[in-house]
Amino acid sequence: MNYKVSHGAHIANIKKNQCFLTSKSKYHFLCASKSPNEAKLFIAKVIAKVIARDIPKLKGIDSIVHSYFNRINIENYLDIIILLVPLITQNLQEDLCNVIKLTRSSDSINLAAINAIFILNRADFEFRNIDFSRINISGANLSESFFFNVNFEGSNLKAVNFTQSKLSNCNFRNCDFRDAVFSNFIFFGKHKKFIKIVKISKNDELLLAYSEKCANLWNLKKKTFLKTLYIDIRDAEFSPCGNFIAFICDNFSLWIWDIKNKVKPQKVHEKISNIAFSPYENI
């Protein structure tokens, strides 16, 4: 009995009790199988091992551009991902991070970078203290990810899915956030310029995104736009309760915005360079 199993770009002709590797591509497999489902599982296992084996070889732009890793979106192959994730060792994590960073030099490996960061996220990799400045991961799915003290300055984050992600102490200055998604809500359409900074309240309910002469406030849980301030902001912080926002303007004046009671921002001090709320009280 013969089976022909199609798995996206991976096609195998299966003949009972025989197993062959095609000469056309190392990613096309002929395998012995009692059923198409078993054949698909076998193919997925081999492809996962091939990908894990090839990741350390992706050292430069040329090697990545022409690689299998830069040809298909791994996210579309769930069975391969499930088998690949356990193979991601610490060394492979470093190799995948390097693939992402190489997008600073070339946009032609964007898909490889999307695959790399998606695999790391699915392997529960916590992105801590990493310099991801000027990378291009536009269109990446980073739902339920964790980023702490990561520098994204100047990065292309268009249409990135940050649904239910934890972003703590990250630098988003001058990032392109257009069409980025939080909580299944596309909200950056109002921003026509690069986003300088993104701030999220402690309870993950509110988000403040500001660019040149424009700050937009959003309610992530209700998926609604709340308010725009046309003002130049250097820095901003939410109070622990999420009821106030303190921000410093370009002239170094300090303003307090009572967002709970919908009171217009009030200037409270001049010549302030840094702001921070007490973790225990709204001071």
Write down the pLDDT at residue 112: 95
Q: In what order do the strands lie in the sheet with 146-148?
A: 127-128, 146-148, 166-168
Write down the pLDDT at residue 196: 66
Q: What is the rounded average pLDDT of the residues 65-91?
A: 91
Helices and strands, number each (H, E), in the chain = 5, 17
Closest CA to 50 of 28, 22, 19: 28
Write down the pLDDT at residue 235: 84
Write down the pLDDT at residue 92: 94
64-68, 92-96, 97-101 — which is least confidently predicted?
64-68
Rank 4-13, 35-44, 66-75 by mean pLDDT and report only the highest.
Answer: 66-75
| Distance from the first to the final alpha carbon of the chain | 75
Model confidence at 191: pLDDT above 60: no
Model confidence at 23: pLDDT above 70: no
* Helix locations, 73-134, DSSP H: 78-84, 90-101, 110-122
Task: Name the percent of the chain lying above pLDDT 90.
Answer: 35
Write down the pLDDT at residue 108: 95
Write down the pLDDT at residue 198: 77
Task: Measure the CA–CA gap between 115 and 84, rounded to whole angstroms.
Answer: 12
